[in-house]
Amino acid sequence: MLVPDISGLVRENPRKTSFMEYREREWKREGKRYHIQQRWVPLSHISPYLMKAVLIAEDDKFWSHEGFDYDAIRKAIEKDLKEKKFKIGGSTISQQLVKNLYLSPEKNLLRKIREAVITWRMEKVLTKKRILELYLNIAEWGDRGIFGIEAASQHYYGKSALALNPLESARLAAILPNPRKYNPGAESGYVARRAALIYGIMVKRGIVSPEYEEIIREGETVHSEEEPASEVLRESPIVMPSEGGTSRSP
């Protein structure tokens, strides 16, 4: 089993990921003249609101785990067994980064094993801040080749990633499970409800001033701090799409 050399990522940014190349092949096959839109920015040039919104939505235990959220994996396996499907979700940001950087979208046991080995290695070599920086710069964030938070912020809001406000951050985090289907600025019940849940958690944790709560529409889902926010988002009535980007694909 080949394991890529991760040490180069300590200081060097990847020019293109395996998933970007997959999208390019897909566009060529479908006759679409899209191209990768990406602008690399350091973590210091990304809004803290955006970082926290993404962690709430995607991996609430990011700073404390060592690459794997075993509770989320257990719940995902139990769900797979119940539905008689092979998905094994519950991916952390570290796992998502590995999938985007190195692996194909295929769903099989060998790929999951390779993903686990590379994730373990990545957590040993890279700092948490570097893993988050890489993820925010290479995640698919929209249709027609939008990758990374800077390109997404410029595309949807006409501003830098550093200038994103809390509500914009919540909406951008809300579309990560399926960025090709959903638009953070469009009228979508799914995006509105999911963003409201993320935003509400930000308010409850003191990330956002309570005065901003009036922005959120009525009907916000109440979150209990007894379990990680990302677990609440996965299990909430806001149904996750089964198609689209790889941010949370198995």
Class of domain 35-235: mainly alpha
As to burial, measured by CB atoms within 10 angstroms (0-12 exposed, 13-18 middle, 19+ buried), residue 189 is exposed
Count of C-beta atoms within a 10 Å radius of residue 207: 16
- Give the pLDDT score at 213: 56
One-letter amino acid at 77 equals I
SS3 146: strand
Going residue by residue through the chain (250 aa), what tens digit of pLDDT does each one get? 578 999 999 999 999 999 999 999 999 999 999 999 999 999 999 999 999 999 999 999 999 998 776 676 666 556 655 665 545 455 899 999 999 999 988 877 888 889 999 999 999 999 999 999 999 999 999 999 999 999 999 999 999 999 999 999 999 999 999 999 999 988 888 999 999 999 999 999 999 877 655 554 443 443 445 455 555 454 443 333 333 444 444 3
Structure confidence at residue 108 (pLDDT): 79
Q: What is the pLDDT of residue 73?
A: 61
pLDDT of residue 76: 56
Determine the 3-state secondary structure of 204 from DSSP.
Answer: helix
Q: What residue ranges do the domains of the chain occupy?
A: 35-235
> For the whole model, what pTM was predicted?
0.81
Q: For residue 250, what are its two tokens? A: 């198995």
| 123 token code pair | 């957590």
Please report the pLDDT score of residue 111 as a whole number.
86
Pick the closest to residue 227 from 56, 88, 95, 65 (CA basis): 56
Dihedral of the alpha carbons of 197, 155, 165, 167, in degrees to the nearest 10: -20
Residue 226 contacts by C-beta under 8 Å, 6 or more apart in sequence? none
